[in-house]
Amino acid sequence: MIDSRGELEVETLLKIILGLIALLLLLRIVEALISGIASLLGPFFLLVQLAIAALIVLWLVDRI
């Protein structure tokens, strides 16, 4: 039986972990920006979300 465990080097694992941490921080920043925009727009934020969703759907069906 060939054992293929442990073939990743420590540096590769560290790069993966650091990349995941950077992604988590980026998501936190985006979340803070979106919540800031949502608080500024107030009740119109739902309309903005629906407009963005409609634009994405129109883009996917090649109507834009």
Nearest to 45 by CA among 35, 55, 58, 32: 35
AA identity, residue 55: L
Q: What is the pLDDT of residue 50?
A: 87
More confident residue, 37 or 29: 29
Residue 1 confidence (pLDDT) above 80: no
Residue 64 confidence (pLDDT) above 70: no
What does the pLDDT look like over 31-46, one tens digit per residue?
899 888 878 878 787 7
- pTM score, two decimals? 0.54
